[in-house]
Amino acid sequence: MEVKSNIKMVQISEIKEYENNPRKKSDAGLDIVMKSIADFGFRGAIVIDKDNVILAGHTRFRAAKKLGFTELPCDIADELTAAKIRAYRLDTDCVRAVHGRASYGVKLISHKTG
């Protein structure tokens, strides 16, 4: 296994949302991400393809845009084939869906925040 990353700062105006993104846009979710960015800064690169289309990070992108960012760190996955891009999108969507339904105990949350 190897770490693959090609992180560069990209003008937000050059980043394109994936038009077939299956995740529904939620203003409630957007507000939560905006607050997190305001509290902790922008953490974690947006993953984009060689054409600057988002593979992962749509909500963070929208939040940063709404907050007035002009550029974002992007991990440019320019080595991925079209088939690998489809598989990566499916994988990240499935992981988010499972994670979104996960429940955490109060004791664990207290440990993480205390």
Write down the mean pLDDT value for the chain. Answer: 83
What is the SS3 assignment for 34? helix
Going from N- to C-terminal start, the domains of the chain cover 7-113
| Higher pLDDT among residues 111 and 51, named by residue | 51
Answer with the residue of higher pLDDT: 9 or 27.
Answer: 9
Q: Residue 49 in contact with residue 79, Cβ under 8 Å?
A: no
Distance CA 67, CA 56 (A): 19
Estimate to the nearest angstrom the gap between the alpha carbon of 63 and the chain centroid. 10
Q: Is the domain covering 7-113 a CATH 3.40.50.300 domain?
A: no
Whole-prediction pTM: 0.78
Q: What is the pLDDT of residue 26?
A: 63
